[in-house]
């Protein structure tokens, strides 16, 4: 079977070492995120705060401002990267990612509608985002199949639907100006002004969806062999694809519900991890989740430090990083005649 995955079929050794290194990088980036910002706090003081011996001012900065922000980065990075792995595998398209094929924008429109209709129901936003993300990915998949399911067709359909969904968000905000507080931040993407209470519903959605995706890693490996091969082995390929896309939508939608329309995490991280650990789904999903968490945490730290005391939006840092990578990947696919 001809596939873009051929460049990654060589088995990678010692994925456990890479996963351990990624876990260490998540821990170190988390400590740096808690320590540095507009006010720098020594690492010893950060540890003292969690042990209950820190100063009151430092404790308020860390526990009320930086800790929720860090948790938002970890959750959104892990969710978006894992969602990208699933979407690329199910759609057999290296250019597919939550922000590229309309998943993020569909979730954003659902969040905007939920906030406009039920302004006090913050707990429902992750579930509304899931429905919007799922509707977005299924609609893009339907349109691309009707138009001819080439890789570029899928991307173009996703870009078109993203524009339509974004216009819908603009319309909701026009008629309900208070629907999305800090709308510009939501559109660009970021994790400022978060609280642990706001993160709680999304945390459970991400935890359950990621655990379910990891539990289905063996089935995903079989699905990578092709639908006919999977069905010959007794795997209900069509139902499994829909289930995996639903999990990807849940992951991306939950992230969008509190972090806004962040882009490129679901594109950049899976490609890097696939080159390091290979195509086997379980280590790829786990390493991508850790890599996405570390990447988003470091990008958020850079957004605070690059032009301090001014803060660059997190979505801008990600776009400056992921945009050139996406163009390189697109040109590489075109040059290889795979579009």
- Could you report the per-residue pLDDT of 273-302, keeping only the tens digit for each? 988 888 889 999 999 999 999 999 999 998
User: How far separated are the first and last CA of the chain, in Å rounded?
Assistant: 16
Q: What is the CA angle 145-148-151, rounded to 5?
A: 90
- Residue 205, pLDDT above cutoff 80: yes
By percentage, how much of the chain surpasses pLDDT 70?
Answer: 86
Task: Give me the chain's average pLDDT, please.
Answer: 83
For the record, the structure tokens of 153 come out as: 């067709």
What CA dihedral angle connects 276, 278, 279 and 285, to 10 degrees? -40
Cα–Cα distance for residue pair 97/283, rounded to 1 Å: 19
- Residue 29, pLDDT above cutoff 90: yes
216-225, pLDDT tens digit by residue?
Answer: 998 888 887 7
By percentage, how much of the chain surpasses pLDDT 90?
Answer: 25
Q: Superfamily for 41-334? A: ABC transporter involved in vitamin B12 uptake, BtuC (1.10.3470.10)
φ/ψ of 264, rounded to 5, equals 75, -15
- Choose the weakest-confidence range: 15-19, 56-60, 308-312: 308-312
Mean pLDDT calculated for residue range 245-269? 88
Chain centre distance of CA 48? 32
């Amino acid at each position: 079977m001809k596939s873009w995955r051929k460049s990654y079929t060589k088995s990678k050794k010692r994925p456990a070492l890479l996963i351990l290194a990624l876990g260490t990088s998540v821990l170190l980036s988390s400590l740096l995120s808690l320590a540095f910002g507009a006010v720098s706090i020594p690492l010893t003081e950060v540890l003292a705060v969690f042990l209950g011996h820190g100063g009151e001012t430092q404790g308020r900065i860390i526990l009320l401002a930086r800790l929720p922000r860090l948790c938002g980065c970890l959750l959104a990075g892990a969710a978006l990267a894992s969602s990208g792995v699933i979407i690329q595998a199910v759609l057999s398209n290296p250019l597919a990612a939550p922000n590229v094929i309309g998943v993020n924008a569909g979730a954003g429109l659902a969040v905007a509608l939920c906030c406009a209709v039920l302004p006090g129901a913050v707990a429902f936003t992750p579930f509304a985002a899931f429905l919007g993300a799922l509707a977005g990915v299924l609609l893009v998949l339907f349109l691309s199949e009707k138009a001819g399911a080439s890789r570029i067709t899928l991307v173009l359909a996703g870009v078109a639907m993203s524009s339509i969904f974004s216009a819908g968000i603009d319309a909701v905000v026009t008629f309900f100006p208070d629907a999305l507080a800090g709308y510009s931040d939501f559109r660009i993407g970021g994790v400022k002004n978060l609280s642990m209470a706001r993160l709680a519903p999304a945390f459970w959605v991400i935890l359950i969806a990621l655990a379910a995706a990891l539990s289905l890693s063996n089935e995903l490996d079989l699905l990578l062999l092709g639908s006919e091969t999977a069905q010959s082995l007794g795997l209900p390929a069509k139902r499994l694809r829909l289930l995996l896309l639903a999990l990807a939508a849940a992951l991306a939608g939950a992230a969008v519900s509190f972090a806004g329309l962040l882009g490129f995490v679901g594109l950049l991280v899976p490609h890097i991890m696939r080159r390091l650990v290979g195509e086997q789904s379980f280590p790829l999903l786990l390493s991508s989740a850790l890599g996405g968490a570390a990447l988003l945490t470091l990008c958020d730290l850079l957004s605070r430090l690059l032009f301090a005391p001014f803060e660059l939006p997190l979505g801008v840092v990600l776009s400056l990083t992921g945009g050139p990578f996406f163009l390189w990947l697109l040109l590489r696919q075109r040059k290889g005649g795979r579009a």
